[in-house]
Amino acid sequence: MAEPPVLIRQDEVEGLLHYKDLIPRLEVALGKFSKLDSAEVIQPVRTTVPLQKYNGFLGLMPAYLVHEDILCTKLVCFYKRESGSTLPSTQATVLLFDPEYGNVKAVSMPMIIEQWPLDLLMPAKSEVLTILGAGHQALSHYNVFTETFSFKEVRVWSRRKETAERFAQSTQGHVTVWESVEEAVNGADVIVTVTGASEPVLFGQWVKPGAHVAAVGACRPDWRELDDVLMRQAKVYVDSREGAVAESGDIILSGAKVFAELGEVLNGTRPALREKTTVFKSLGMGIQDAVSAKLVFEQWKNKH
Ligand SMILES: NC(=O)C1=CN([C@@H]2O[C@H](COP(=O)(O)OP(=O)(O)OC[C@H]3O[C@@H](n4cnc5c(N)ncnc54)[C@H](O)[C@@H]3O)[C@@H](O)[C@H]2O)C=CC1
Ligand SMILES: O=C(O)C1=NCCCC1
């Protein structure tokens, strides 16, 4: 008889998951995904159930890594919230299965970053980091980017200035608050977009040539964070081409061409053009949650 699943809380996940252990495993998984070999990795495009009454969606994100024998699914509700709303805009649960028996071994929270610092795509000398948006993703991306690199300056902008100010007070290092996106991104080497916007907030004419944009928000086909100019002038990298052309409004509505999947860059089959303006559009991958859930569960077992 199968053991009942263990429940691993968010605070435990944060204590158990270390980026230095996780990132190499994520890179291997993304590389395998981009080889398009379904004998290795199975990850269908996310299924979404609209929650019209609440202006949101339930996303189902199953994944199976065959060689590693990791079967997992994330269930994520995400919403378009009104300015000033105190309700969460994303809530997710990850289920890790025993692939042979079919029972759930662990229920946990997802990892907290969707993009890890892409030194592959960032300008070689990256001194100024700008974060657009000041919510949960903003903080986790601030943490991982500043833990990994030494920026001379970190800036934040948000739709409401007080949210940006609260964000700046919550960070370990000094962050300056800016009142307009145009000023906040002026001269920035790396720009992380983590807003709940459904219309563009970042315009290509403001972006320094050669900058890297890590685009995390706008995960619906009719939502955008980036304008047509930026999408067409940049080299566009994605986590999954199939996902991007189905779900990314920034790509679908601008008609921008996808240059490469991140896994193709990791496999060496497509180049990382870091001297050009680059956009990495992430939508979230079930395999990322699968790899991190397995790691969290292993670490949890070592402790119990
Ligand atoms: N690519 C991926 O894998 C993932 C993407 N997301 C997306 O990232 C975005 C941020 O997520 P969280 O930080 O959890 O949300 P959050 O609600 O904690 O923060 C959102 C931030 O965006 C700002 N914002 C909201 N609407 C805006 C608008 N219309 N214009 C400008 N700014 C606006 C808010 O003021 C806040 O600062 C969401 O769109 C979410 O769906 C979240 C998780 C994973
Ligand atoms: O992968 C995720 O988690 C999410 N992706 C897009 C929308 C919000 C959550």
pLDDT in tens, 61-102: 999 999 999 999 999 999 999 988 999 999 999 999 999 999
What pLDDT, in 10s, does the model give residues 6-52?
999 988 988 888 888 888 999 999 999 999 888 899 999 999 999 99
**pLDDT at position 112:** 61
- The encoded tokens of residue 225 equal 């964070």
Distance CA 181, CA 134 (A): 13
- Residue 38 CB neighbour total at 10 angstroms: 10
Question: Could you write out the DSSP letters of every residue in 138-182?
Answer: HHHHHHHHHHHS--SEEEEE-SSHHHHHHHHHHSSS--EE-S-HH
Q: Is 60 helix (H, G, I), strand (E, B) or coil?
A: strand
pLDDT at 54 over 70: yes
Closest CA to ligand 1's atom 23: 195
Work out the widest C-alpha separation in the chain, in whole angstroms: 61
What pLDDT, in 10s, does the model give residues 240-273?
999 999 999 999 999 999 999 999 999 999 999 9
Q: Which residues contact 300 (CB under 8 A, 6 or more apart)?
A: 6, 8, 12, 16, 106
ipTM field: 0.98
pLDDT at 1 over 80: no
- Does ligand 1 lie within 6 Å of residue 197's CB atom? yes
Please check whether residue 103 is in contact with residue 218, taking contact to mean a CB–CB distance below 8 angstroms: no
Quick one: three-class SS letters along 61-78? Answer: EEEEECCCCEEEEEEEEE
Closest CA to ligand 2's atom 7: 219
Query: How much distance in Å is there from the Cα of 152 to the middle of ligand 2?
Result: 30
pLDDT at 114 over 80: no
Strands (E), 39-103: 41-42, 47-51, 56-65, 70-79, 90-97
Best probe residue, ligand 2, of 57, 90, 223, 239 (max atoms within 8 Å of C-beta)? 90
Query: How much distance in Å is there from the Cα of 79 to the middle of ligand 1?
Result: 9
